[in-house]
Amino acid sequence: MNPGGLVAITGADGFAGRVASAHFRVTGRKFRGLVRALSADTVARPDMMPVGDLTSIPDDALANALQDVQTVVHLAGRAHVMKETAADPGATFRAINVAATERLARAAAAAGVAHFVFASSVKVNGESTPQAGAFRESDPPDPRDDYAVSKWDAECALADVARETGMPVTVLRLPLLYGPWAKGNVARLTETISRGVPLPLGSIDNRRSLLGAGNFVSALDALLDRPVPAPRTVATYFVADATPVSTPELVRAIAAALGVLPRLIPIPASFLRLACSLAGKADAGHRLTDSLVVDTEAFRAAFGWRPPRAMAEELADMVRAQGHMASAPL
């Protein structure tokens, strides 16, 4: 099967989708960006197709969106929510991340799509690793919240689709993704550092795997440039930057990209976790202080891949883009 076949990207107007679309446009890879609705940024883009909500799109419209597609890269989904508003979060995560994913995959197989790539999460394996440890693909899943459970259930549903239809599936379990157009925790942390707010993170001694946008699209290229996997194949990989960093190291790196001095106050990690717990934000305290590292050797060996970009490069791009995220080109 030709590695240069048409790629459909779901969630093409989200953070990861914007990064992939912009990259494919520059490199000349043929792609079709599937978005819920056209916006001011996408309306003039002939490679963007509005498809509505993937949970309710009519079957014929979904089939049309997948026409002539060789590979689906499924990036759309409901991400981890900091301030939950859904009446039943578990059901909402399941409808979007599991049911819609399975429906899309079965429609893709029926349309003759040769390969389905799914962006999952390191959280499928758990929330933390020992200081000197790292998650590997052979480790048992241990999802701890509704988001992680929905990602694991989606992986299981896709394995059923692969077995029943023959369409191979590749799962990429990703850590925190950062780079131009990043939102959420990364954007908030960058804004906080830029305003010179003191951060009580100076005594944290942890290691966290992260994934820069440039390394993410490089990994996609490595995957898409290889022949399509054998029928019924289900492969799972971790992808991350070359070197994990501590929380203070990340703060210093963002500050360097911003051209400001980091204001790190040395507060014991145990006290910080206690303070977060008393404030009803125990999960945030653990994300700041715990280690979460993945072993990417399986992906590197399978695809001959090495992360091409250093964190400093990615953060410099992120800072340059931050002031005009809303109008950045898709």
Instruction: Write the pLDDT tens digit of every residue in 147-205.
Output: 999 999 999 999 999 999 999 999 999 999 999 888 888 888 999 999 999 999 999 99
| pLDDT tens readout for residues 122-141 | 999 999 998 889 999 999 99
Whether residue 271 is contained in a domain is answered as no
Position 106 scores a pLDDT of: 97
Share of the chain above pLDDT 90, in %: 79
Whether residue 326 is contained in a domain is answered as no
Query: Would you say 294 and 122 are in contact if contact means Cβ atoms under 8 Å apart?
Result: yes
Distance between CA 12 and CA 35 in Å, rounded?
6
Looking at beta carbons, which pairs linking 283-288 to residues 24 or more positions away fall under 8 Å? 283/127, 283/145, 286/127, 286/128, 287/127, 287/185, 288/201, 288/204, 288/247
Whether residue 320 is contained in a domain is answered as no
* Three-state DSSP state, 176: strand
Exposed (0-12), middle (13-18) or buried (19+): which is 183, by Cβ within 10 Å? exposed
- For the cut 80, the answer to whether the pLDDT of residue 323 exceeds it is no
Residue 178 annotated among the catalytic residues of the structure: no
Q: Give me the catalytic one of 31, 147, 237, 299.
A: 147
| pLDDT tens readout for residues 67-103 | 999 999 999 999 866 666 777 888 999 999 999 999 9
Whether residue 83 is contained in a domain is answered as yes
Whether residue 176 is contained in a domain is answered as yes
Give the range of the structural domain holding residue 67, as residue numbers without chain letter: 7-181+210-241+292-308
Q: What is the CATH number of the domain that holds 64?
A: 3.40.50.720
Distance between CA 93 and CA 150 in Å, rounded?
6
Whether residue 41 is contained in a domain is answered as yes
Distance between CA 19 and CA 75 in Å, rounded?
11
Chain centroid to Cα 151, Å, comes to: 11
Domain count of the chain? 1
Helix residue ranges, H only, 113-212: 146-165, 184-194
111, two tokens: 């349309």
| pLDDT tens readout for residues 16-35 | 999 999 999 999 999 999 99
Distance between CA 116 and CA 168 in Å, rounded?
6
14, two tokens: 């989200």
To the nearest whole number, what is the mean pLDDT of the chain? 92
